[in-house]
């Protein structure tokens, strides 16, 4: 296993006749870490500012981690090792030092630029090699605004940024202040408005480049699109595996099967399934052929199999086996890997599954191919424009993206369907049943002060209780002809790549 390679940059803003006295100490410390390292002292050349010498040093650096430190080193030596550990563990792509001083002028700059800014009294910063090449290569400013520009670009391009607290006794002049920082912030905003920087990752929904880092969650960054109001993960990870379709067909349940204990919906999920089936009945005639993508516990399939020719697919083998054990025709497959050997479907249902698909355009195109003309799609998904979602978004951020890749807005879903050859039939809030045990746990964990009052109210309410999670229900039908206003929606570049 190869050791970590680290490039240390020490910028000297004034010409010095001798090397910094801390250089030997830095080299001795790095020798104890086992890193492959090189230390570069960057002297200012004619007309070359702070940003210029760092861009030159980054271009010459060969390490997988690049660390910029102060010549005087007014903080403990192990701060270098801590920054490298954050980068190498993939907890962050960019690390900014945060000293023990409070800088009140940063509040205004944070509101104009980004929440996490470097300490203006410290040069200390660390980058992964990919982040250094992009951020320092795209920077334009040479003065103290260089630090602000790097922080802004890290947010623009979706890099994970972390602050590293260091005990510093630095008395150096600030690289940016209240007035100089504000001037630099305006320059940065104007440069970005004039497309002076490389375009960031495009939104996978509307292909807009107006995307920004919205929040940081463990191991990833949540991005927000200003145009379609969607939220999505910065890194989707591995794409869908094309699992082979495992077929094990069982007979559908008979409507008069009195021995089936699911004939009467008792649990919250079963009652939710019956509610969804009631919506489907308005669009599809009895004994029609329907496909459910993502069968979960099979409760909807059991209810639907009594009235329709039900087929389900799920990419998880254990879930598919459990559904087949209940007598359902379920295949272990992804949407792209599923091959329909029977007639076209009359309806396709997706209950909080569409958010797990990395390419919504390809998914809708595949769904359209599986449907007959006039076939219906019943979809439930979170609505990022809904009031309930907006209120609880920050609290539930990590939970929402535990399995989901993209969270859609109401307007984005409508546009997606219409561009993909569907006609919207209805858009309405999606209500689901929740048992009291779940509601008590949810309230106690998030709003402990309200827990006693909520517990008292729940005692007089039915169990399970009909509630909303900020989701919407969209019903659409496939148009018989080509999409209206057909135009190319594909980009020359990959949409979700830097």
Per-residue pLDDT of 402-437, as tens digits, reads: 889 999 999 999 999 999 999 999 999 998 888 888
DSSP 53: H
Q: What pLDDT score does 94 carry?
A: 94
DSSP 70: -
Are 304 and 418 in the same domain?
yes
Q: What pLDDT score does 498 carry?
A: 43
Domain that residue 107 falls in: 5-193
Are 325 and 446 in the same domain?
yes
> Model-level pTM?
0.81
Q: What pLDDT score does 244 carry?
A: 42
Q: What is the mean pLDDT of residues 460-483?
A: 84
Are 184 and 288 in the same domain?
no
105 by Cβ neighbours in 10 Å (0-12 / 13-18 / 19+) ranks as middle
Provide the CATH number for the domain around residue 278. Answer: 3.40.50.150
Q: What is the mean pLDDT of residues 303-309?
A: 93
Are 281 and 189 in the same domain?
no
CA distance 70 to 67: 10
Answer whether 274's CB lies under 8 Å from 265's CB. yes
CB atoms within 10 A of CB 424: 14
Q: What is the mean pLDDT of residues 383-389?
A: 88
CA distance 473 to 380: 4
Tell me: pLDDT of 145 over 90.
no
Q: What pLDDT score does 200 carry?
A: 86
In this structure, is residue 493 part of a structural domain? no
**Lowest mean per-residue pLDDT among 1-10, 67-76, 110-119, 352-361:** 1-10
DSSP 2: P
Label residue 161 by pLDDT band (50, 70, 90): very high
Q: What pLDDT score does 469 carry?
A: 80
Are 187 and 278 in the same domain?
no
In this structure, is residue 169 part of a structural domain? yes
Q: What pLDDT score does 101 carry?
A: 65
CB atoms within 10 A of CB 485: 7
- Structurally, how many domains does the chain consist of? 2
Are 181 and 275 in the same domain?
no
pLDDT tens digits, 34-49: 888 888 888 876 667 8
Q: Which has the closest alpha carbon to 9: 63, 89, 74, 87?
A: 63
In this structure, is residue 246 part of a structural domain? no
Query: Could you give phi then psi for residue 251, rounded to 5 degrees?
Result: -70, 145
The structure tokens listed for 462 are 């039915």
Are 327 and 467 in the same domain?
yes
In this structure, is residue 24 part of a structural domain? yes
In this structure, is residue 485 part of a structural domain? no
Label residue 288 by pLDDT band (50, 70, 90): very high
Provide the CATH number for the domain around residue 10. Answer: 3.90.550.10
Q: Is the peptide bond before 464 cis (omega within 30 degrees of 0)?
A: yes
Label residue 18 by pLDDT band (50, 70, 90): low
Q: Which of 193, 208, 243 is the last residue of a domain?
A: 193
Q: What pLDDT score does 487 carry?
A: 43
Are 49 and 135 in the same domain?
yes
CA distances from 185 to 56, 108, 150, 196, 363 (A): 23, 10, 11, 14, 41
In this structure, is residue 238 part of a structural domain? no
Q: Which of 165, 193, 221 is the last residue of a domain?
A: 193
Helix (H, G, I), strand (E, B) or coil at 456: helix
Tell me: pLDDT of 460 over 50.
yes
- Residue bearing the bigger pLDDT, 163 or 15: 163
Instruction: Name 19's Cβ contacts closer than 8 Å, sequence gap at least 6.
Output: 41
Helix %, strand %, coil % of the chain (to 5): 35, 25, 45
Label residue 2 by pLDDT band (50, 70, 90): low
Tell me: pLDDT of 463 over 50.
yes
Are 452 and 304 in the same domain?
yes
In this structure, is residue 466 part of a structural domain? yes
In this structure, is residue 41 part of a structural domain? yes
Q: Which of 193, 211, 243 is the last residue of a domain?
A: 193
Rg (CA), the chain: 28
């Amino acid at each position: 296993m190869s050791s970590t390679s680290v490039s240390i940059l020490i910028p000297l803003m004034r010409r010095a006749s001798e090397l910094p006295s801390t250089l030997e100490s830095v080299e001795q410390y790095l020798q104890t870490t086992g890193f492959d390292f090189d230390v570069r002292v960057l002297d200012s050349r004619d007309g070359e500012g702070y940003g210029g010498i760092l861009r030159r040093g980054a271009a010459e650096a060969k390490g997988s981690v690049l660390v910029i430190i102060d010549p005087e080193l007014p903080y403990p030596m192990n701060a270098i090792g801590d920054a490298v550990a954050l980068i190498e563990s993939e907890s962050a792509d960019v690390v900014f030092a945060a000293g023990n001083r409070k800088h009140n002028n940063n509040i205004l700059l944070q509101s104009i630029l980004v929440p996490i800014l470097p300490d203006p009294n410290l040069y200390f910063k660390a980058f992964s090699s990919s982040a250094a090449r992009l951020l320092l290569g795209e920077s334009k400013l040479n003065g103290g605004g260089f630090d602000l520009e790097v922080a802004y670009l890290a947010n623009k391009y979706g890099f994970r940024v972390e602050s590293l607290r260091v005990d510093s006794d630095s008395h150096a002049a600030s690289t940016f202040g209240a007035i100089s920082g504000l001037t630099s912030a305006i320059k940065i905003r104007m440069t970005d408005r004039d497309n002076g920087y490389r375009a960031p990752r495009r939104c996978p929904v509307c292909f807009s480049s107006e995307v920004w880092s919205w929040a940081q969650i463990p191991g990833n960054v949540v991005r927000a699109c200003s145009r379609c109001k969607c939220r999505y993960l910065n890194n989707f990870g591995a794409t869908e595996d094309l699992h082979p379709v495992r077929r094990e067909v069982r007979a559908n349940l008979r409507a008069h099967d009195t021995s089936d204990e699911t004939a009467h919906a008792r649990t919250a999920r079963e009652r939710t399934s019956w509610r969804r089936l009631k919506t489907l009945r308005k669009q599809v005639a009895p004994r029609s052929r329907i496909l459910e993508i993502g069968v979960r516990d099979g409760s909807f399939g059991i209810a639907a199999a009594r009235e329709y020719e039900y087929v389900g697919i799920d990419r998880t083998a254990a879930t598919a086996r459990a559904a087949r054990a209940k007598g359902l025709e379920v295949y272990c497959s992804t949407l792209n890997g599923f091959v329909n050997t029977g007639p076209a479907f009359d309806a396709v249902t997706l209950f909080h599954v569409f958010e797990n698909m990395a390419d919504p355009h390809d998914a809708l195109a595949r769904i359209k191919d599986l449907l007959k003309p006039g076939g219906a799609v019943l979809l439930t998904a979170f609505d990022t424009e809904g009031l309930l979602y907006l209120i609880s978004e920050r609290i539930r951020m990590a939970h929402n993206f535990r399995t989901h890749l993209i969270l859609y807005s109401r307007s984005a879903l409508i546009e997606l369907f219409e561009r993909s050859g569907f006609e919207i039939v209805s858009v309405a809030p999606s209500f689901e049943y929740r048992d009291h045990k779940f509601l008590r746990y949810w309230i106690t964990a998030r709003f402990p002060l309200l827990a006693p009052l909520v517990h008292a109210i729940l005692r007089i309410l039915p169990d399970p209780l009909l509630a909303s999670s900020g989701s919407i229900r969209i019903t659409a039908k496939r148009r018989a002809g080509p999409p209206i206003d057909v135009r190319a929606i594909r980009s020359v570049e990959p949409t979700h790549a830097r």
